[in-house]
Amino acid sequence: MRPPLDPPKGMDDLTPEEYAVQDELVRKARAVMEAYGYRMIETPAVEHYEVFAVKSGEEILTHMFGFEDAHGRRLVLRPEMTAPVARLFAARLSRRPLPVRLGYVADCYRLDEPQWGRRRRFYHAGFELIGVRDPMADAEQVLICRDFFESVGIRDFRVKLGHVGIHRAVLSACGLDESSQDRVLSLIDRGRREEAMGIVREAPGDPSAKEAYLELVSIEGPAEVGEVRELLSRVEGARQQVEELEAVLRVLEALVGRDRIGYVPGFARGLSYYTGVILEVYGPRASVALAGGGRYDGLIGLFGGRDFPGVGVAIGITRVMQYLVDRMGYRADVGGPKVLVKPLTRSDGEYALMVADSVRRRGIAVETAFPGRSLGDELGLASERGVRLVLIVGARERERGVVLVRDMREGRQLEVQREGVAEEVERLLGHG
């Protein structure tokens, strides 16, 4: 049977041109991590099922790639990274001085129906800040997004803010326990508002709180925090959450810009571990979020031991890549060595490798051509690919211990002793 040419549904091969875009995004994400003091970590792509079952929520649990190993243990391909980071922190990092800033670039897997911006294998660049409850920690996540998106040329982004703590305060007043609250928020996130409102209407709690929540969730566009404060003025526990949100908004409006920030009272995210501010980042040319995150103050304690507050954001590298290529027409430079060694015949191969090796030992990338293509054709291809120097070796050069160095930019050629060719290449490229 002939094996299929295409990868599994919803997963992608990357050509050199596509990989160059992804690699550039990863490098810029890592630069932001360094700028903010986040230190890189890595967790396995295969995790225990229980890592996500503990609090990730229905939407995650029903869309995981799961299997059993030879010993009957239930394992999954990680569908997201916050829960694995919480597990790692609880297991090995909880004694470190706070706050702890952790960064990662990781591939995740979800059994979703593939469509634009939604793949079954996708890359995230994440930032997790653990050990601080201050609203400034929440604001930092949005500043991280600002710096990243500006660095990749998406300057017209918009940040959608919400606050799960406000939702939970009102739902508690409605008489709903934590599990029921998780269900309501998951349904809202998936666009099934009427089903969610049915659960609220049937709740045994304060009728005025239920009325307030139905009005809160109906606000699907940006709103003033004062409007929500007034709406929830009689709901116990909501005031502190609203004040938290106001503190974050003040900072972001000053540093990111009021026109880029919008508080949406009816906004919820399906991950059950969120407890406070939540956010998503959008570009104007697509309806899917390019980044998302929020506060998860109760998650780490579920793994045992002391609890720690946490807040984080994940930038969708795969989505941003699609956005740049499909919506903005971006193309990355594949790059490649600027130096090519061309042997004229098979007999010149060993000498060509010696020349290439001497240049590489100076830290300069070199590609070695193989006999078969004519010198003219090789020079034409080198010009197309942006090669700066072509080092030509043939029988006469071997016999005399020299190399012909052709400068493609200047259109001139010089003869250099083999022992000095590396220094000459370094000089011409300006690496000295």
Do residue 369 and residue 237 come from a single domain?
no
The 74-77 sheet, strands edge to edge: 46-48, 74-77, 66-68
- CATH assignment at residue 394: 3.40.50.800
- Tokens 């293509």 map to which residue? 373
How far is 430 from 364, CA to CA, in rounded Å? 11
Q: Are 320 and 388 found together in one domain?
A: no
Residues 316 and 350 in one domain: no
Q: Do residues 371 and 284 both lie within one domain? A: no
Q: What DSSP string runs through 190-236?
A: TT-HHHHHHHHHT-SS-HHHHHHHHHHHH--S---HHHHHHHTTTST
Q: Which two tokens stand for residue 11?
A: 């997963």
pLDDT of residue 237: 85
CB atoms within 10 A of CB 365: 11
395 shares its domain with 273: no
- Which strand (E) or helix (H) includes residue 85? helix 82-88
Do 321 and 343 share a domain, yes or no?
Answer: no
- Domain-located, residue 73: yes
Q: Is the pLDDT of residue 171 over 80?
A: yes
Amino acid residing at 20: A
Question: Both 323 and 349 in a single domain?
Answer: no
Residue 215 to residue 105: CA distance in whole angstroms: 39
What is the total residue count of the chain?
432
> Is 269 within a domain?
yes
Domain annotation covers residue 8: no
- What is the rounded distance in angstroms from the CA atom of residue 36 to the CA atom of residue 229? 33
Which of 328, 357, 376 is where one domain is finished?
Answer: 328
Q: How confident is the model over 114-140, as pLDDT tens digits?
A: 999 999 999 999 999 999 999 999 999
pLDDT the model gives residue 431: 66
| 268 and 349 housed in the same domain | no
What is the tens place of the pLDDT at every residue in 209-253?
Answer: 999 999 999 988 899 999 999 999 889 889 999 999 999 999 999
Examine the fold and report which residue of 293, 328, 363 is the final residue of a domain before the chain moves on.
328
Element (H, E) at 403: strand 402-407
pTM here? 0.92
Question: What domain range includes position 80?
Answer: 16-328
Q: How far is CA 79 from CA 44, 106, 273, in A?
A: 12, 10, 14
Indicate whether 59 belongs to any domain: yes
pLDDT at 389 over 70: yes
Regarding whether 401 and 355 lie in a shared domain, the answer is yes
pLDDT at position 379 is 95
Domain containing 133 — which CATH number?
A: 3.30.930.10
* Domain presence at residue 37: yes
Q: How far apart are CA 170 and CA 234, in angstroms?
A: 10
Residue at which a domain ends, from 303, 328, 353: 328
How would residue 324 be classed by pLDDT, with cut points 50, 70 and 90? very high
Q: Quick one: 355 and 391 in the same domain?
A: yes
What average pLDDT does the segment 269-277 reach?
92
CA 363/CA 16 separation, integer angstroms: 22
Are 90 and 133 in the same domain?
yes
Whether 333 maps to a domain, the answer reads no
Check whether residue 278 and residue 361 sit in a common domain: no
Q: Are 124 and 314 in contact (CB under 8 A)?
A: yes
The number of domains in the chain is 2
SS3 state at 13: coil
